[in-house]
A and B are shown apart, each in its own frame.
Chain A
């Protein structure tokens, strides 16, 4: 089966000034994003991940290399018809209501008139924006903007969805909701490519990740594989007394293992926050 996105030896140089100096934003990048998974594209600012996404979407042309989306060349209408995109910090016309925006995007994406109403409502429902859909976008909060952006990206039922910083500026409850939407899309068989600086969320949502730095691919693989420290083990023990601890350390030392540290497990601040705050203020 063809990959959702296939990037082969893509390089992008930007010309700087009149002297012909070039800035290499993407350096011989090759990447295969499989179908039906949530793929995280990570990297520090200026690493080339946004440029890579733009080349994938045909917004910027690569200096060399080839990209296909679901088997189609990336700059073609066929590829874009199968792709949904939510840019970073999306901006939409404030005078439109949420429903009008989604309908407009559905028309641009070629959704037929017969399927229009159902497609729009389905997208709004997935994005949990049905109640607020009739309000002007100018009255939306940040989280609602992101969710309506998600709705416009998926209204035409694309096979591939690309999300650039979908939870930037969104509170943890809203971010969790978006995370759930991403998983729902994956369960529907879509491929989701996620670009984010929120590593905690990426870790929770993504199946595979790729890390870029200075235009190059540094690491790529399944999340649990790349994160696991195979040479170390974590035991969570209840009711450990000082004597039991000494006995355990001795037993392990006898087998050549060494206890590096003994600490209490911590939950994350995000987990605590979500436990304490019930419901979203967005609705």
Chain B
């Protein structure tokens, strides 16, 4: 009887511990860099397991990244992509991995693929464009995830904007990225300007003007130099859009 009670107590303790563990895991989960089974699978036998288990994440991420260089030299697209994504997953807080993975995917790998298929002369233009856009989207997926997980949000958003603008040709999407970058705590000085330009080029000049004007008034005007180049661009917009004088930004004392 006493023995049975002890076994029951043991089982109860285990169940209670498990229930508590579920609760505690939920509360600390956000503090641990996320890594899902999909990222683990391709490289599980390559020393990556050690990083996942709980130690040396940064070191293993670095080693994985260095190994990806070797594959980059060989233009081994699948291997390179796998290792780069793994490095991002192992240390998702590091902006460097996301940035360069996005770039490699968005700018380089389409060219590798074209060369693999026979070269620029052989691959039809439509296919080439399709590949450029396809890989640009992949690069943007990586950068989107990096924005979510890493700490260098502003920089990654700008890179995403550049990729959307130059490789995808999607001005609206580029504008959205630059807008997000401009709305971060420490945005690059050009982010708002790029947002406005792309929004304008995407065929929404009034929206571009309204947003840029509000942004200048709320943030840029408070800078030490009051961002005169941005104000100049706003003035151009006001002229093009024939904005009435009362709706424009009042003339500044320091304006030429």
Are any A and B Cβ atoms less than 8 Å apart in their complex? no
**Interface residues, chain A, CB within 8 Å of chain B?**
none
